């Protein structure tokens, strides 16, 4: 019932993907719809593997009907298509029963994520569903051209499908979901205007600190460190905000947490990310941060890493070192 006008509506509302990359949703849908293929696939990515990002889990718990409606609209819009909902392990266990009731008689399959953080990267999702080694693929070709089993594939995350349903019903109010955590009074998930600045969000949710602080914005591991003077910015990426008390936060411990995470979660496929993260962890483990060496490593990772993980790992280390660590 929405097939004739949903893509123009997505373009009109300028909906961006909410999985982190912020690619224009209408353009992606049009690419998949126009692509040649005897069959096509739709994937709702509910991997959400970054600690501190939990908005998609909140949506699946509180309003899964909207998500399924968004997937149904995609099935109606894209000919000869079937769909998968790709769920991280605990989400699969938690939401399997409720989702199965909603997808009865629909060509939608639930798939349990088996790997770690990198298994949420879009081309790694294809590898997982196909039963192959869970590592990123070379791009191009891009998913709308050749994705799952080599066929044109539309992949969006949970929040994006939620808002597609809202747009179709004329209920989209240009909001997005924010995961707020850390040293705050009221942690949780909040749906607020997408054009609100970090400062507005923290004040509206009664989470603006009355102590010396800094935040991590965008992602909970991959997000950028920002100081109070920089809160007049939008929250990008995955919509996460973590507040840190500057006096009580051990910066070495924070660096250790990031180093351990990226060292554990990288797939070892490419040298810049594999060796770069290892060398960063080595510095952190030895409590000897060579700022020039770190800067060189981060530059190489950002410029030459095979997939987004290596580039994402650069952001927290670089911003913390530049803004806070050297004056701790």
Q: Where are the domains of the chain?
A: 6-168, 175-245, 251-327
pLDDT (mean) for 65-77: 97
The more confident residue out of 216 and 20 is 216
User: Global pTM?
Assistant: 0.92
The CATH architecture that domain 6-168 belongs to is 3-Layer(aba) Sandwich (3.40)
pLDDT score of 97 more than 90: yes
The CATH architecture that domain 175-245 belongs to is Roll (3.10)
Question: pLDDT, tens digit, for every residue of 159-209?
Answer: 999 999 999 999 999 999 999 999 999 999 999 999 999 999 999 999 999
Res. 2 pLDDT band, cuts 50 70 90: very low
Beta bridge partners of 86: 45, 111
Share above pLDDT 70 across residues of the chain, in percent, rounded to a whole number: 98
pLDDT score of 40 more than 70: yes
Beta bridge partners of 187: none
Integer Cα distance of 258 and 255 in angstroms: 5
- Helix 158-168 crosses helix 64-77 at what angle (to 10 degrees)? 80
HSE-up (13 A, CA, CB side) for residue 264: 12
The more confident residue out of 106 and 326 is 106
* 3-class state of residue 23 by DSSP: coil
pLDDT score of 124 more than 60: yes
Does domain 251-327 fall under CATH 1.20.1440.230? My reply is yes
Q: What is the dihedral of CA 313, 112, 22, 228, to 10 degrees?
A: -50
Res. 118 pLDDT band, cuts 50 70 90: confident
With b meaning 16 or more CB within 10 Å and e meaning fewer, what string describes 107-131?
ebebbebebbbbbbbbbbbbbbbee
- Per the prediction, the chain carries an average pLDDT of 91
Note the pLDDT of residue 327: 43
Spatial CA neighbour of 158 closest among 20, 9, 34: 20
Cis peptide before 171 (omega within 30 of 0): no
pLDDT score of 328 more than 60: no
pLDDT score of 319 more than 60: yes
∠ CA 32-110-100 to the nearest 5 degrees?
A: 120
pLDDT score of 326 more than 70: no
Integer Cα distance of 153 and 149 in angstroms: 9
Backbone phi and psi for residue 270, each to the nearest 5 degrees, phi listed first: -115, 145
Among the residue ranges 131-145, 219-233, 308-322, the one predicted with the least confidence is: 308-322
User: Could you tell me if 222 and 316 are in contact, meaning their C-beta atoms sit under 8 angstroms apart?
Assistant: yes
For the chain, give me the number of helices (H) and strands (E)? 12, 9
β-strands 175-182, 81-87: how paired? unpaired
Note the pLDDT of residue 4: 55
* 3-class state of residue 191 by DSSP: strand
Note the pLDDT of residue 1: 45
pLDDT (mean) for 262-271: 82
């Amino acid at each position: 019932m929405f097939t004739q006008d949903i893509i123009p509506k997505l373009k009109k509302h300028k909906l961006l993907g909410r999985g982190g990359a912020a690619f224009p949703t209408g353009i992606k849908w049009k690419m998949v719809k126009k692509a040649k293929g005897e069959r096509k696939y739709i994937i709702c990515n509910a991997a959400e593997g970054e600690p501190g990002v939990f908005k998609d889990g909140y949506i699946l718990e509180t309003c899964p009907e909207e998500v399924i409606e968004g997937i149904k609209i995609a099935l109606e819009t894209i000919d000869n298509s079937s769909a998968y909902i790709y769920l991280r392990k605990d989400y699969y266990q938690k939401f399997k029963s409720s989702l199965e009731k909603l997808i009865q008689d629909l060509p939608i399959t639930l798939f349990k994520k088996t790997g770690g953080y990198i298994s949420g990267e879009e081309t790694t999702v294809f590898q997982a569903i196909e039963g192959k080694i869970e590592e990123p693929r070379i791009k191009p070709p891009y998913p709308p051209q050749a994705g799952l089993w080599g066929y044109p594939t539309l992949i969006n995350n949970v929040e994006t499908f939620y808002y597609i349903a809202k747009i179709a019903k004329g209920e989209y109010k240009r909001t997005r979901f924010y995961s707020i955590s850390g040293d705050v009074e009221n942690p949780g998930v909040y749906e607020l205007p997408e054009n609100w600045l970090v400062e507005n969000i923290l004040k509206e949710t009664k989470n603006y600190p009355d102590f010396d602080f800094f935040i991590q914005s965008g992602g909970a591991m991959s997000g950028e460190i920002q100081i109070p003077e920089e809160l007049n910015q939008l929250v990008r990426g995955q919509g996460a905000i973590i507040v840190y008390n500057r006096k009580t936060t051990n910066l070495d411990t924070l660096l250790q947490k990031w180093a351990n995470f990226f060292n554990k979660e990288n797939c070892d496929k490419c040298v810049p990310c594999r060796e770069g993260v290892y060398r960063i962890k080595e510095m952190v483990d030895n409590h000897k941060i060579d700022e020039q060496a770190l800067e060189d490593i981060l530059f190489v990772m950002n410029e030459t890493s095979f997939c987004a993980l290596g580039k994402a790992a650069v952001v927290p280390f670089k911003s913390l070192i530049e803004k806070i660590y050297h004056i701790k």
